[in-house]
Amino acid sequence: MAGSEVTAFPPVLANRHPEAPLGIDLDKCIHCGMCLNACPTYRELGVEMDSPRGRIYQMVQVATGQMEPGPSYREHLDLCLACRGCESVCPSGVPYGRMIEAARAEIEAQREYSPAARALRGFFFERFFTSRGWLKAAGMLLYFYEATGIRAIAQGSGVLKLFGKLGRIEHLAPSAELPFFFDQIGKTFPALGERRKRVALLAGCMANFTSARLNEATIRVLQRNGCDVVVPESQTCCGALHVHSGWKEKARALARQNVDAFLDDSIDAVITNAAGCGSTLKEYHELLEHDAAYAAKSRAFVAKVRDITEFLGEIGLRPGMGELAVTITYQDSCHLAHGQKIRQAPRDLLKSIPGVTYRELPLADLCCGSAGIYNIVHDEIADSLLRKKMDLVNATGATTVTTANVGCAIQLKAGAERYGQGQRVLHVVELLDEAYRRG
């Protein structure tokens, strides 16, 4: 246009870390600000640099050499929940989730930790989440802590105040559910009635002891709906926490193992009941796009991945559910609504249960504050988000809160106990299972 000037950013530096955000992604942001109100941290803090637009601006500054990736940059990016709510409202299709993960991978590669901190992070990301032995030990410790009454004493005595942040977040610790689900890995569960599909279930990592009953309910509902359910022995952690924390090489190793474990011509779908896991599983093709041995296999794998609510919506529920006279509401999991773009399927499944009164939750897709380990690392912001979420839940009058992610369920259970009205918190498939068992 005559008389106008176009101001372009300086070129992206050539010597960047290979995991750094891509210039083609950074260029997509037009800085319109549509993302601001969809961002939980901007709503909480009101700081431009803690909004998606502000974080992308900082990424550009670092990419072009105008700013060093120092403590301030790390802090603003670390405060992001990676909920991807901004993606749902962005008119330019900015792949913010991919960008924040890339930026964190670049930061992680350059960040200096004390020897103790590096060893601790190495233990959790390299060993804990991928070791059934360590996970079983953690589950037993958690069970012992609660079953012996130590937890009740600690919570009732006020002694937790002496433990600082550890005491503040103790209420977030989930219950360990015996028997654990580990013993079911490697088994096949036959369909009930005429077989419609053969599917493989991702058991998860910590979910094997924190959500063992959910995994069992998932299998029963799939069986009721004509599915053979295989739980592959060689599966491992999905790598979501690794990707979100900048450990992308480890995430790639886990992705390769899962592709090998699940990719089978006899399997019609790979099922997950954890929306956060599912979002990462559906992006394995991006993680492995430059891996000559796994690029094509990862695309084939991704084509089979389904969230449990998505899959049941596709094949349709069989009749046979009994009546549940309950009033329910539904909290969108960020990585289901924003990452996988699945909103209607879980609502339709819930409304199909006989006797259920469904009440829509205002701001249902605004993050509850769980976000992987965010509620542990940034507990005060997470707790503020949770309190506001429970105020909205309370206003619906629902006696049961449903969601589609294990992390959200743990967060909402803590919220119902602290700020709620005694609501039950269930995964969508757990309520379906109740209805089928009653039928």
Q: Give the pLDDT confidence of 248-297 residue by residue, as tens digits.
A: 999 999 999 999 999 999 999 999 999 999 999 999 999 999 999 999 99
Confidence of residue 164 (pLDDT cuts 50, 70, 90): confident
Tell me the CATH class for 23-110: mainly alpha
Q: Please check whether the domain covering 320-438 is classified as CATH 3.40.50.11810.
A: yes
* pLDDT of 2: 38
Closest CA to 330 of 216, 431, 244: 431
Q: How far is CA 213 from CA 276, 318, 333, in A?
A: 18, 22, 19
Share of the chain above pLDDT 70, in %: 97
* pLDDT of 373: 85
Closest CA to 273 of 358, 194, 336, 367: 336
> How many residues in the chain?
439
Q: What is the distance between the alpha carbons of residues 338 and 366, in angstroms, rounded to a whole number?
A: 10
**pLDDT over 80 at 335, yes or no:** yes
* pLDDT of 14: 64
Domain residue ranges in the chain? 23-110, 115-172, 182-313, 320-438
* pLDDT of 36: 96
Q: Which residue has the higher pLDDT, 1 or 102?
A: 102
Q: What is the distance between the alpha carbons of residues 345 and 350, in angstroms, rounded to a whole number?
A: 9
* pLDDT of 7: 45
- Amino acid at site 31: H
* pLDDT of 298: 98
Q: What are phi and psi of 329, to 5 degrees?
A: -135, 170
Strands 227-230 and 188-189, sheet pairing: antiparallel
CATH fold of 182-313, please?
A: Rossmann fold (3.40.50)
182-313 and 320-438 agree in CATH topology: yes
Q: Output the average pLDDT for the chain.
A: 94
Mean pLDDT across the stretch 124-140? 95
* C-alpha atoms less than 13 angstroms from C-alpha of 340 in its C-beta half-sphere: 31
* pLDDT of 25: 94
For the segment 210-244, what is each residue's pLDDT rounded down to a tens digit? 999 999 999 999 999 999 999 999 999 999 999 99
Which are the contacts of 6, defined by CB distance < 8 A and separation ≥ 6? none
Q: How far is CA 64 from CA 16, 54, 60, 272, in A?
A: 10, 15, 6, 40
* pLDDT of 112: 87
Q: What is the distance between the alpha carbons of residues 346 and 332, in angstroms, rounded to a whole number?
A: 9
* C-alpha atoms less than 13 angstroms from C-alpha of 181 in its C-beta half-sphere: 25
Confidence of residue 6 (pLDDT cuts 50, 70, 90): very low
Q: What is the distance between the alpha carbons of residues 18 and 105, in angstroms, rounded to a whole number?
A: 9
Q: Which residue has the higher pLDDT, 166 or 200?
A: 200
Confidence of residue 189 (pLDDT cuts 50, 70, 90): very high
pTM: 0.93
Torsion of CA 106, 107, 113, 115, to 10 degrees: -20
For the segment 13-28, what is each residue's pLDDT rounded down to a tens digit? 666 788 899 999 999 9
Mean pLDDT across the stretch 59-77? 93
* pLDDT of 363: 96
Do the beta carbons of residue 69 and residue 107 sit within 8 Å? Answer: yes
* pLDDT of 171: 87
* pLDDT of 295: 98
DSSP 51: S
Confidence of residue 9 (pLDDT cuts 50, 70, 90): low
Q: How far is CA 18 from CA 113, 221, 383, in A?
A: 21, 43, 35
Closest CA to 407 of 305, 309, 275: 275
Q: What is the distance between the alpha carbons of residues 1 and 404, in angstroms, rounded to a whole number?
A: 49
* pLDDT of 8: 53
Which helix (H) or strand (E) segment holds residue 345: the answer is helix 344-351
